């Protein structure tokens, strides 16, 4: 006779707000994709940079994984930051810098070239390298 009283395995559920949310690894992958696209096509303008597939993916991933959002402080000096500064910055300082770039790109008409300038100046590459070092080993 079979034992009919076996307990069913517990259901694992994921909240709706956790589904399809990019992780830090996915942000890094989208930023690397944009860097690769820029290296293959370096003569971008403010009008053409937005046509690269990685451009919108990186901006969206930054917001969706929490690197940019209403709870993040702005870096008032973000446009003056060098790749060396970013390389030596703390994770929180880099987060503020990236948030400021995202905000400037999306909402500040006085500084609409933030992503392009970060690509041209090497700051985005320094950010990706720094974040990759900070990422825990798997």
- The C-alpha atoms of residue 35 and residue 20 are separated, in whole angstroms, by 23
Checking if the pLDDT of 119 tops 80, the result is yes
- The C-alpha atoms of residue 43 and residue 37 are separated, in whole angstroms, by 11
Checking if the pLDDT of 17 tops 50, the result is no
Cβ neighbours of residue 64 under 8 Å, at least 6 residues apart? 21, 22
Rounded mean pLDDT, 70-88: 97
Cβ neighbours of residue 93 under 8 Å, at least 6 residues apart? 75
Residues 31-69 pLDDT 10s: 999 999 999 999 998 888 888 989 999 999 999 999 999
Widest distance between CA atoms in the chain: 77
Average of per-residue pLDDT values in the chain:
84
Cα 64 to the center of its chain, rounded Å: 9
Label residue 109 by pLDDT band (50, 70, 90): low
Per this entry, what is the length of the chain?
Answer: 138
Checking if the pLDDT of 5 tops 80, the result is no
- The C-alpha atoms of residue 136 and residue 138 are separated, in whole angstroms, by 6
Residues 85-96 pLDDT 10s: 999 999 999 999
> Per the confidence metrics, is the pTM higher than 0.75?
yes
């Amino acid at each position: 006779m079979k034992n009919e009283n076996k307990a069913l395995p517990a259901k694992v559920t994921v909240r709706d707000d956790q589904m399809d949310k990019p992780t830090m690894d996915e942000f890094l992958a989208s930023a690397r994709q944009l860097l690769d696209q820029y290296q293959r096509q370096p003569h971008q303008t403010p009008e053409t940079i937005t046509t690269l597939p990685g451009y919108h993916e990186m901006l969206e991933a930054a917001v969706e994984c929490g690197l940019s959002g209403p709870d993040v402080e702005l870096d008032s000096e973000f446009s003056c930051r060098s790749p060396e500064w970013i390389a030596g910055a703390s994770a929180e300082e880099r987060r503020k810098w990236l948030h400021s770039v995202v905000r400037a790109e999306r909402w500040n008409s006085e500084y609409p070239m933030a992503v392009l300038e970060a690509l041209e100046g090497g700051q985005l590459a320094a950010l990706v390298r720094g974040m990759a070092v900070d990422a825990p080993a798997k």
